[in-house]
Chain A
Amino acid sequence: MRDTRRSWLLALPVLALLFWTVAFPNIAVVFGSFENGLGHWREFIASPTDREALRTSLVISVASVIASLLIGVPLAFLLSRFEFPGRRVLRIVATLPAALPPLVGVIAFLFLFSESGVFTRAVQRTFGMAEAPWRLTGVWAIVFVHAYTMYVYVFLFVSAGLERFDSTLDEAASGLGASGWQRLRRVTLPLLTPALAGSMLLVFMTSLGSFSAPYVFGGGIRVLSTQIVASKLNGAMGLAYVETTVLAMSAVAALILFRWLERKRKYASSGKGAATRRILRSGRAQFAAGLLSAVLVIMLVMPHLMVVLVSFAVDGVWTTQVLPPAYTLDNYRRLVSEASLWKPIMNSVSMALIATAANVVVCFVAAYLIVLRRFTGRRMLELLVALPWAIPATAIALGLAATFDRNDLVSGRVLLVGTFWILPLAYFIRGIPLVATAVESSLRQLDPALEDAARGLGASWWLTMKRVILPAARPGLIAGALLAAITAVGEFVASVVLYTHANRPISIEILAQLRALAFGTAAAYSVLLIVLVLILTFTARSLEERMA
């Protein structure tokens, strides 16, 4: 049929592009790990540090999931089931940690809770201790930072599940004589399983691939993602390939496991009734909830405030005091006036824009083909689009480093490593699942009869695309592009593997400034990143409103 032919005409270039940029590098890594037979694998298995790294990666991921559940689930219940003073503020602030680019979150924690951090020193002063009461290194430091940034996933998923939760089900259960605990165990939790599984997967995958926290707080701790970068820096590419393959395989295994869990428990909600919130009436309960939310709000806002505060600190004078002793606007002035400091900002913005623009075009076509067309190869396309999500950023970056390191047209390689284009490519790949998923979900809401109706009214393929399909895809395109751009502008993990001095992004420069103990400058960059994220969000919002 003609439609199938047209689908293929569209699908072929997209499939080819995705295969080349997404699948090929990963395949190259796996092949690379076998370049001298099982040699590199033996090396990996024999290395105690690598075994240790794999175990630590898994321990950190599991602990992060548990910690995120412990924070996210009660908070979601509290905010969606009860009405109390301060609820609205807490509701907004609760998602704030996700707005921090991962590296900025790590730095904020450094300023707050490290040995020389503000909070640590305040505690030390207050209790007159000779030494810092704790040191922010090791597994628990990493889990602490992870929990702070990643509980948001659990919170958002479970909140959404509870919002959709039909409270008549609860009423029915209590009418049948079920106690509060029974209702929770037999009705609420089973219905929340998909939300829980989805968010646990997200936390697990993010932790497994997490790089910033282990890199900054690791101390002596080794995890797979940092091992990969270390091996690469040491020139042990073969070992790096093995480590990458192991990391990617762990991630894919986790993905399959959680998907299986999610699918096992999927319920279509009849969903007429809406969730209702109970108003806390007793004065004591109101006070307790209010106090709790005030404390939580302060804790959640503190890292952000801390970054802002330090951004005004004079570099190099903050040594043993609780708070930086001197303040200045100079840090910001220098970001704009000094060419070498301004360059990373321009780099990040332009590379993020290029990557996002490519995401918008490619992912729209891919989502259109996946949702609205039937053709052989559709499942392949679905897989390619989802793949970058399953594979940790470090692994993606290493794949690119292994693939695009020379010009060799026969094997499909182009020299990009060391050029400007390698980072936009990495950002593009990381953005694919974000944009494609968003557009797919928009297109899934499109009644397929609308396309039929347009054709039946005589519309050409192009007119149908322009007037019916694009408008339907627009909310997803905007939301997905926003996510991709935010991720790209603060991207660190792939960047640290692939950057060159000429295209160094903001995140790399932040790290360099930290190393030089220029905390003020590092913080100013961080604030700038947050501002960029806010600008992007605001632009997307207003764009969406204008289009609607």
Chain B
Amino acid sequence: MTAGALTLERITRRFGEHTAVDDVSLDVPAGQLLALIGASGSGKTTTLRMTAGYETPDSGRVLLDGRDITTLPPQRRDFGMVFQHYALFPHMPVEDNVAFGLEARGVSRAKRLDRARSALASVGLANAGPRSIQSLSGGEQQRVALARALVIEPRVLLMDEPLSNLDPILRQSTRDELRSMLHRVGVPALFVTHDQEDAFAIADRIALIRSGKLLQVGAPEDLHDRPASMGVAQFIGRATIVPAEYLGDDRVAVTVGGVRRELASTSPGGKPASSPHVVLRPDALDIAGDDSGAWRGKVVNRRFTGGSAVYRIQAAGDVILEVNSQRMDLREGDNAGVTVKREPVPVVSGDES
């Protein structure tokens, strides 16, 4: 198995007037899992389909290990792909599905069934070979699709919303399995999801795409704690985004309901951001005791989440602060103070949409 990096170089795809993918560049080294996330219609699936060869970019290149494969048809790429609804062949038993890629490569029937069975065993479905696709549960289908993609020893693994058809409980366990399995395979892996929790749980790096444009690429904590733009801050995690005053030297002043607080901030991208805003994550805030410098507001909503509670606190003006706190004693309608328990807070520019 040759393990070369997958590179997308400034690819663009237009459908009529609409630019589905706009000048996107990505680099996925061997053994790395990159999650491409974005809302539906953001261009993530088109990007994946161009990577797989089902679409050809209008401009830009797809490279594997430095070799240009932009126009190579999918059947000659040796990529493994897991489709959103798995695309298992309904008229073939499980083992024929898994062996299909080997059949296409002219492997003899006995050999390919043998390899299909061991691929099935590696996803925990050792005895599922003769079963029909219809008899499988959603989770089993997902694993068969994965086995089918892996048995051909792909040079790249692609997945389109691999977890979106699973129920929430199965989803949790599958995330961990998937992550360790993908690392074992050791090829570049690119998967598309609209669910950032899936992305956080599985991926080494995340690329956020919106309206066909790449907004930011980085480790999950980069996007969460150091969003490059307002768009990223809004999409990733929960946050209250509040206008601020940049004081220089990575300090900001934030005024909520007439109370001004000075906080440590991230660097606003080298130069002082125009129209700076701070991104206040629920777990960076806390309910204040009698701190006189705290922002003041009224609890409008309380949600119990296990070890803590999430409060929505309305301050003067229309600012609603979302606070994740260990304190359980506040009720809707109570007055509360809000303080910042984790600094620096991210700062982004409010100019771009």
Contact = CB atoms under 8 A, between A and B. Distances in A.
Contact of A449 (B74, B84, B104): B84
B83 A453 contact: yes
A456 B52 contact: yes
A545 interface: no
Interface string B70-92: 00011111111101110111011
Nearest to B99: A457
Interface in A414-468: 447, 449-450, 452-460, 463, 467-468
Contact of B78 (A450, A458, A463): A458
Contacts of A1: 56
B54 interface: yes
Interface size class of A (residues with CB under 8 A): 10 to 19
Contacts, number: 67
B152 interface: yes
A452 B53 CA distance: 10
Contacts of A449: 83-85, 87
A457 B101 contact: yes
A214 B52 CA distance: 61
A13 to B, nearest CB: 24
Contacts of B91: 471-472
Contacts of B79: 456
Interface in A457-514: 457-460, 463, 467-468, 471-472
B15 to A, nearest CB: 13
A2 interface: yes
B295 interface: no
Nearest to A471: B91
Contacts of A463: 103-104
Given A2-B73, A452-B54, A457 B100 contact: yes
Interface in B58-114: 73-81, 83-85, 87-89, 91-92, 100-101, 103-105
B210 interface: no
Interface string A349-389: 00000000000000000000000000000000000000000
Given A450-B87, A452-B83, A457 B54 contact: no
Contacts of A468: 89
Contact of A455 (B75, B84, B148): B75
B164 to A, nearest CB: 14
B233 to A, nearest CB: 34
A449 B85 CA distance: 8
A455 B73 CA distance: 8
A459 B104 CA distance: 5
Nearest to B56: A1
Interface in A265-281: none
Nearest to B81: A456
Given A447-B87, A458-B104, A460-B75, A453 B152 contact: no
Nearest to A3: B73
B101 A458 contact: yes
A457 B98 CA distance: 10
A462 to B, nearest CB: 10
Nearest to B77: A456
Contact of A456 (B56, B74, B105): B74
Contacts of B73: 2, 455
Interface in A78-125: none
A453 B82 CA distance: 8
A524 B110 CA distance: 55
Contacts of A457: 75, 100-101, 104, 148, 152
B54 A460 contact: no
A456 B148 CA distance: 11
A458 B76 contact: yes
Nearest to A1: B56
A2 B101 CA distance: 22
A47 to B, nearest CB: 54
Contacts of B53: 456
Nearest to A468: B89
A472 to B, nearest CB: 7
Interface in B97-137: 100-101, 103-105
Given A450-B87, A468-B89, A458 B81 contact: no
Contacts of A447: 85, 87
B75 A467 contact: no
A458 B89 contact: no
A459 B54 contact: no
Given A449-B84, A460-B75, A467-B89, A454 B54 contact: no
Interface in B24-47: none
* Residue among A453, A457, A459, A460 with most chain B CB within 10 A: A457
A447 B52 CA distance: 18
A471 to B, nearest CB: 5
Nearest to B151: A457
Contacts of A472: 91
A2 B53 CA distance: 13
B87 A458 contact: no
14 contacts: A449-B83, A449-B87, A452-B81, A452-B83, A454-B89, A454-B104, A455-B73, A456-B80, A457-B101, A457-B152, A458-B101, A460-B75, A460-B104, A463-B104
Given A454-B100, A458-B76, A471-B91, 17 more contacts: A449-B83, A449-B84, A452-B87, A454-B104, A455-B73, A456-B52, A456-B53, A456-B74, A456-B77, A456-B80, A457-B100, A457-B101, A458-B104, A459-B103, A460-B104, A463-B104, A467-B103
Interface of A: 1-2, 447, 449-450, 452-460, 463, 467-468, 471-472
Q: Which 10 A-B pairs have the closest CB atoms?
A: A457-B101, A449-B87, A453-B87, A459-B104, A458-B104, A471-B91, A456-B81, A455-B75, A455-B74, A456-B74
